[in-house]
Amino acid sequence: MGNARALALEALIKVEKQKAYSHLVLNQLLSRHPQLDLRDRQLLTELVYGTIQHQRLLDFYLEPFLKQGIAKLEGWVKQLLRLSVYQLYFLNRIPSHAVVNEAVKLAKKRGHRGIQGLVNGVLRNMLRQPKRSLDTIVEPVERIAIETSHPTWLVARWVRQYGLDTARVICRANNERPAMTIRVNLLKASKQDVLSRLTASGYRVSETSEAEQGLKVENPAKLMDSPLFKEGYFTIQSESSMLVAPLLSPQPGMKVLDLCAAPGGKTTHLAELMANQGRIVANDVHKHKLRLIETAARRLGITIIEVTARDGTAVSPEEWGTFDCILVDAPCSGFGVIKHKPDLKWNKRLEDIEQIKELQLHLLSNAAKLLKSGGQLVYSTCTIDKEENEGVIERFLEYHPHFELAGDMRQILPQDFGSDGFFMVKLSKA
């Protein structure tokens, strides 16, 4: 257990200092420490995600006990205190004395006697007093932001876009534990067959409510070590993400472009829907990520994917009008997947949205040149920000009058069916 806390502290320091993605840091740590048993691996995961998820509320609880304020603490001390308060207030199964003792040991190992005393004193004083009440926060946006641990600017933005009540529900849903869902590879087996085989292996499995190929796994420990995964019977994918490829409705024999393809979850889904017949060009600007697509295709038994590493904003004229259908799963702020990547809400800034929506429009405009007349194009993002979604589509249709909506725009919010927030829309070219 002690090792799990030390590793959690290491992860938290790295995520904040290097602006690193929490899930990547955590995966690296788990790979470097295969000796951790299942209990410690679960505790490490819980501590890292929980502390980042509730960071602002933890700071709210800590503030009265820090004379100099939390911002003036050294980075590792700040993270150690957050990590400890998360255990005290959110994990009832860990005794308080164990939390304090482990925190003091970590402080002793990393700092001098003064830091050790500070950590000990703050935590013991918190235990002696009632938890600070949120009722002192009168302003509603600030109350939601602190209670659910989100930046105030982001909550205010969602209040403007969705209203106060929906914004509150979005923020609360972002703190829920994400469901583990998988997409059955219909090239190899039926959904019922995979469900039965996983159940026989001890997994608790049920069908997803929205995605036709989806299954939900309640106890997913070591799922990626299972023979069914290694033999390509399923892909781990969020249920919302599974809805994108069917919207494009690619047919066997078509020539399809996935413009921003890595890591390849939607690309391989397109190939499965095409019965592995035709041709898919899986493009991504990040060359090192193409290996992920190739590896996934091999595991799933897919042979029709050709990877390319080109800038999606640069289009060669000889390729104009050559694709039957195109998927633009555009880079975005990622505010729909905060359940999986809680660090996003702390690392993104308003100016990031302003920059990325111009990139999204640019990618979409170039994809429009590559599409055949009569072809179909799907634009999708994993964000709930309206300017990146409806706003980009409205501008695109204004600049490209030969395109029209082929159905309604669909915005999925994180509370809708327990999956991620996603946006998707299908467009037709005259």
So which residues are the catalytic ones? 382
- Helix (H) or strand (E) holding 164, with range, is helix 164-174
Confirm whether residue 69 is marked as ligand binding.
no
Determine the Cα–Cα distance for residues 41 and 197; give it in Å rounded to an integer. 26
Tokens encoding 172: 């609360």
Neighbouring C-beta atoms of residue 176, cutoff 10 Å: 12
Determine the Cα–Cα distance for residues 366 and 311; give it in Å rounded to an integer. 11
Partnered with residue 378 across adjacent β-strands are 327, 426
Confirm whether residue 369 is marked as ligand binding.
no
Determine the Cα–Cα distance for residues 2 and 44; give it in Å rounded to an integer. 10
Q: Which residue has the tokens 């003064």?
A: 114
Per DSSP, the residues of 347-394 read H--HHHHHHHHHHHHHHHHHHHHHEEEEEEEEEEES---TTTTHHHHH
Tell me the helix, strand and coil percentages in the chain, rounded to 5: 50, 15, 35
Nearest of 126, 380, 366 to residue 243 by alpha carbon: 380
Nearest of 109, 128, 108 to residue 118 by alpha carbon: 108
Confirm whether residue 312 is marked as ligand binding.
no
Confirm whether residue 332 is marked as ligand binding.
no
Confirm whether residue 264 is marked as ligand binding.
yes
Residues in the chain: 430
Confirm whether residue 263 is marked as ligand binding.
yes
Residue 189: what residue type?
A
Confirm whether residue 265 is marked as ligand binding.
yes
Confirm whether residue 260 is marked as ligand binding.
yes
Task: Show Cβ contacts of residue 231 under 8 Å, excluding neighbours closer than 6 positions.
Answer: 188, 299
Binding residues for S-adenosyl-L-methionine: 260-266, 284, 311, 329
Binding residues: 260-266, 284, 311, 329
